Structure 1
Amino acid sequence: MAPEMIRPETKPTAPIVLRHIMGEAYVTIQRKQDYIEAKWQGHITADNVVCAAQAFLELIRKEPCTKLLNDKSEVTGDWQEANDWLRFEWLPQVLQAGLRYIAHVYSFSMFSRLAARELQERISPRLSMKNFSVRHEAEDWLLEQDDAAASQRAATA
């Protein structure tokens, strides 16, 4: 009889909730079993995106993870001004921390969609990012991704 494999218990990390000055949450960042999820809501700005990206970076440094589900399906607002900072400041740090894939769920807001498309152009191929209109398709794609291939691509880009 083969010995039973015992897996270490993993305690779920408390969600990180970032709020506007008036107290409304604009993003909840939480470690899931196979990825980290950033679930956005309400009206967001470039400053909100930078604050959330910094919080995500702190989390991924503590709990390494190769995959991010970035769900902005419930937001409005133009956050395109954050893309320079995301490309030049955030990207090298999250790559070093181990991030390899972002599945981004589009907002219905045209400005948010344009910002997401521009970000994808800026960070590819170093980080594999794909945009989706439907959350479950984003999650399916994210779960199918191969970490070994992404690490090799990040090293050569």
Structure 2
Amino acid sequence: MRRECKNSFNKTFYVVEHSQELDIVDTLWYGYASPTDLRQAMEAGLEVLEQTNCAYKLNDNTQFTGPWKEAVKWLEKEWLPRAMKAGLCCLAHVANADSLAEESGKAMEISLIGRKLIYRMFHSRTEALAWLKTCQVEKVCVEQ
């Protein structure tokens, strides 16, 4: 299952896909997105989580330039309950060091998201995938 979202400039800024092989929901963010674009993408991502009931999610922001720290409140109130109900347990956030995406990731870490989910930030997609694999092998989501 794969979904793409285009921003107000008609450019793809978000791709979400359930990888059956890795058993993760993989999200890739590109370029810039307005607050409306962000909500559209997060809704698309929720639909994939709800349809797959996948416990593991990779949120890759390494190619994203727009800020979304302000979206954390909406994420806490609307996204988090639905994501958890769909089975999400482990969330890996990947961002470049000293970027707006890293600042957003730090905001998520101290929010309800970081307290309710098993959440870690990374600067490397490879490290994030390795961590998610460890979570799967150790069955951390089964024990919750």
Aligned partner of 2:15 among 7, 11, 28 = 28
> How do 1:117-156 residues align onto structure 2 when only pairs under 5 Å count?
117-122=106-111, 123-146=113-136, 148-150=139-141, 152-153=143-144
Structure 2: gaps spanning 5 or more residues? none
Aligned partner of 1:84 among 73, 77, 81 = 73
Using the TM superposition, give the Cα deviation of residue 48 of structure 1 relative to its aligned residue in structure 2, in angstroms. 2.9
% identical equivalent positions: 26
Structure 1: gaps spanning 5 or more residues? 1-12
Amino acid at match of 1:18: C
Q: Indicate if the aligned counterparts of 1:41 and 1:72 stay in contact, CA closer than 8 A.
A: yes
RMSD over aligned CA atoms reads: 1.8
- Check 1:102–1:124 CA distance in 2 against 1; reply closer, same or farther (3 A cut): same
The 3-state SS of whatever aligns with 1:119 is helix
Q: How many residues are aligned here?
A: 140
Higher strand fraction (1 or 2): 2
Using the TM superposition, give the Cα deviation of residue 22 of structure 1 relative to its aligned residue in structure 2, in angstroms. 2.4
Q: For residues 90 and 36 of structure 2, what CA distance do their matches in structure 1 show?
A: 23
Q: Normalising to structure 1: TM-score of the pair? A: 0.81
Using the TM superposition, give the Cα deviation of residue 117 of structure 1 relative to its aligned residue in structure 2, in angstroms. 0.5
Q: For residues 137 and 31 of structure 1, what CA distance do their matches in structure 2 show?
A: 19
Q: Normalising to structure 2: TM-score of the pair? A: 0.88
Asked if 1:68 is matched to 2:62, the reply is: no
> How do 1:38-117 residues align onto structure 2 when only pairs under 5 Å count?
38-108=27-97, 110-117=99-106
Which is higher, the Rg of structure 1 or of structure 2?
1
Using the TM superposition, give the Cα deviation of residue 115 of structure 1 relative to its aligned residue in structure 2, in angstroms. 1.1
